[in-house]
Amino acid sequence: MSHARPPRALPHPALAELRRDWRSGGMGRREFLARATALGVSAAAFGPLPRAAAQDAPGSVIRIQMRVMPQGDPRLWDFTEMSNACAGLLDTLVRAESDGRLAGALLESWETAPDAASYVLHLRPDVTWSNGDAFTAEDVAANFEGWCDRTIPGNSMASRLPALIDPATDRLRAGAVTILDPHTVRLELSAPDITLVPGLSDYPAAVMHRSAIGENPLDRQIGTGAYRIAEYLPGVRAVLERDPERHPWRPGHVDRIEFVDLGPDPASAAAAAEAGEIDVNYDTIGAYVSVLDGLGWVRSEVDTSATIVLRASQAHEMGGFRPYGDLRVRQALQLAVDNGVLLELGYDGRGLVAENHHVSPMHPAYAKIAQPKQDVAEARRLMDEAGLLEFEHELVSIDDDWRRFTTDVMAAQLRDAGFKVKRIILPAAEYNAGWKDFAFSSTNWNARELGVQVLDLAYRSGAAWNETGFADPEFDTLLDRAKGLPGAEERREVMRQLEQRMRDQAVIVQPYWRRLMRHARPGVIGAERGHKDMIDVHALALAG
């Protein structure tokens, strides 16, 4: 396999190892770009992304099928759709490009210390807020202070920035953020952390005006983007209109962007596409790939580390006991299912079989460990030994296509193993409100650039998004060590231990990695599917 040549001069010491991995074929282009740009190499060093010619047509409209969810404090966002509906108003400091590189958004550039324990952030000097205020380091410092407030339940940004937090106060540590000048901020971490910059490209990292930290973005609509939110009706639609009075740092190309909520059934999106009622669908699933192909719509697709997790909560109490706190029960659930069957029947085979540890072969430092194998006899023995062979498991999923089908397949395999299973299928609003709190359920997880990112968000003891109740000091210590190792090869051995510990503790059934697909009618530009599912509304346009 041939690769495009990486840049000659790589300024960060850890990049020498990245170059070696690249040239040896041990790292693909996406992984190389993600790691190199996270360490401070300018995205421009790798050449511009190909862009189609766009036309700013007066009165232009693009209609996107997508769930429109209730809004609130961005730090508490837990679904990407919340971010997409506000993406014309709010920006992040860093943007994840479609090819995997990290590019500056509100940041012009950044520098990472060789030990990844300090960062210098350089802000764009040409950004203003919609109320006329200049965007300055004061805004960035205020956002870090808000992001690092671990006392706010559900604030997942605190899980991304633990090295900036004082464990005695659960708030921003004194001296962690220093304003060097109006457009420069220095971060001093208590421990090295290679995930900091990638974490700033995640959707809850939307930057708010310094006076609006903690507010719902809809309240005052102070933003750095080119759009204002003209209408917002959860479950129905959200409308972005380009503000003619705004001349922002990154202008929009479309006068009006409409997000249309057609519910979770992909058949509704396909029917709307055929009727000419939408221009872009959010997620193309299973049999609907050929349906939308047949309409002549343009398909975009990308292999990702996005996934589904079927997990039993170790902390959930039922009638005074915790059935899934018993390792034997969790091991029995893993051994009863075949991940390949879950991929084939639950997701139409469009992806890659996974290994029950939530680290992808697409992640730098992924370590190959033994593939899990189905063993129904051992599953029954363990469940019987735990005294729960007659226990009825209530397996919850959202009422949609692929997540429902994948969960159905797991339920069927558990029943084939002799376990009692009651399927509970919830409407989207009810499921979304309680996704972290079910005893036994399925959850979709977005892709992230580094394996340690998702382990930190989902499996660290006490993390805001830890839905499994997994709390393991040894795992946390290994994770801290991995986050402080900039070199992928050096980190791989620690990642192997993390992956194996996840497997040994039977934390999850994680059956496959998703190939993500989206369709758009011909002539729509900038709607291609990205690995993080964040829609760059400023890139949306109509072909000239």
Of 215, 237, 270, the position where a domain reaches its end is 215
- Residue 471 maps to a domain: yes
- Following CA atoms 374, 376, 377, 380 in sequence, which dihedral angle do they give, to the nearest 10 degrees? 130
* CA pair distance 81, 67, nearest whole angstrom: 6
Q: Tell me, what's the pLDDT at 48?
A: 56
Residue 230: CB partners within 8 Å, gap ≥ 6? 239, 240, 241, 256
Tokens of 404: 């429902």
The CB-side HSE value for 471 (13 A sphere, CA atoms) comes to 10
Residues 342 and 482 in one domain: yes
The CB-side HSE value for 135 (13 A sphere, CA atoms) comes to 28
- DSSP labels, 291-332: HHHHTTPEEEEEEEEEEEEEEE-TT--BTTB-GGGSHHHHHH
| SS3 category, 203 | helix
Q: What is the pTM of this model?
A: 0.90
Residue 358: CB partners within 8 Å, gap ≥ 6? 307, 309, 445, 451, 454, 455, 458, 459, 502, 508, 510
- DSSP labels, 26-88: SS-HHHHHHHHHHTT--GGGG-PPP---EE--TT-EEEEE--------GGG--SHHHHHHHTT
Residue 87: CB partners within 8 Å, gap ≥ 6? 225, 534, 535, 536, 537, 538
The β-bridge partners of 355 are none
Residues 495 and 381 in one domain: yes
Q: Tell me, what's the pLDDT at 17?
A: 60
- Residue 186 maps to a domain: yes
- Residue 503 maps to a domain: yes
Residues 511 and 373 in one domain: yes
Q: Which of 215, 177, 178 is nearest to 75 (CA)?
A: 215
Q: Tell me, what's the pLDDT at 53?
A: 54
* CA pair distance 193, 163, nearest whole angstrom: 7
Q: Tell me, what's the pLDDT at 263?
A: 93
Residues 375 and 491 in one domain: yes
* CA pair distance 39, 195, nearest whole angstrom: 10
Residues 313 and 361 in one domain: yes
How many separate domains does the chain show? 3
- Residue 38 maps to a domain: no
Which CATH number covers residue 542?
3.40.190.10
Residues 210 and 122 in one domain: yes
Of 159, 183, 215, the position where a domain reaches its end is 215
Residues 136 and 206 in one domain: yes
Residues 62 and 172 in one domain: no
- Residue 528 maps to a domain: yes
| SS3 category, 494 | helix
- For every one of its 544 residues, what pLDDT tens digit does the chain have, with 9 covering 90 and above? 233 333 333 456 555 665 666 555 555 665 566 666 766 666 665 555 555 555 566 789 999 999 999 999 999 999 999 999 999 999 999 998 877 789 999 999 999 998 899 999 999 999 999 999 999 999 999 999 999 999 999 999 999 999 999 999 999 999 999 999 999 999 999 999 999 999 999 999 999 999 999 999 999 999 999 999 999 999 999 999 999 887 778 899 999 999 999 998 999 999 999 999 999 999 999 889 999 999 999 999 999 999 999 999 999 999 899 999 999 999 999 999 999 999 999 999 999 999 999 999 999 899 999 999 999 999 999 999 999 999 999 999 999 999 999 999 999 999 999 999 999 999 999 999 999 999 999 999 999 999 999 999 999 999 999 999 999 999 999 999 999 998 888 899 999 999 999 999 999 999 999 999 999 999 999 999 999 999 999 999 999 7
Residue 489: CB partners within 8 Å, gap ≥ 6? 17, 21, 365
* CA pair distance 252, 254, nearest whole angstrom: 6
Pairing of strands 61-65, 280-281: parallel
Which CATH number covers residue 348?
3.10.105.10
Residues 409 and 537 in one domain: no
- Following CA atoms 349, 350, 356, 361 in sequence, which dihedral angle do they give, to the nearest 10 degrees? 130
- Residue 340 maps to a domain: yes
Residues 375 and 509 in one domain: yes
Residues 345 and 409 in one domain: yes
* CA pair distance 190, 210, nearest whole angstrom: 25
Q: Which of 64, 193, 148 is nearest to 524 (CA)?
A: 64
- Residue 26 maps to a domain: no
Q: Which domain holds residue 98?
A: 91-215
Question: Contact at 8 Å (CB) between 178 and 188?
Answer: yes
Count the neighbouring beta carbons within 10 Å of the beta carbon of residue 17. 19
Residues 477 and 407 in one domain: yes
Pairing of strands 524-525, 541-543: antiparallel
Long-range CB contacts (< 8 A, 24+ apart) of 153-157? 153/464, 154/75, 154/76, 154/78, 154/464, 155/75, 155/76, 155/464, 156/75, 156/76, 156/78, 156/204, 156/457, 156/463, 156/464, 156/465, 157/75, 157/199, 157/204, 157/205
- Residue 28 maps to a domain: no
Question: Contact at 8 Å (CB) between 232 and 71?
Answer: yes
What DSSP element (H or E) covers 396?
Answer: strand 392-398
Which CATH number covers residue 108?
3.90.76.10
Question: Contact at 8 Å (CB) between 351 and 512?
Answer: yes
DSSP H helices, 420-509, are 428-434, 451-459, 473-483, 488-504
DSSP H helices, 128-175, are 137-147, 157-160
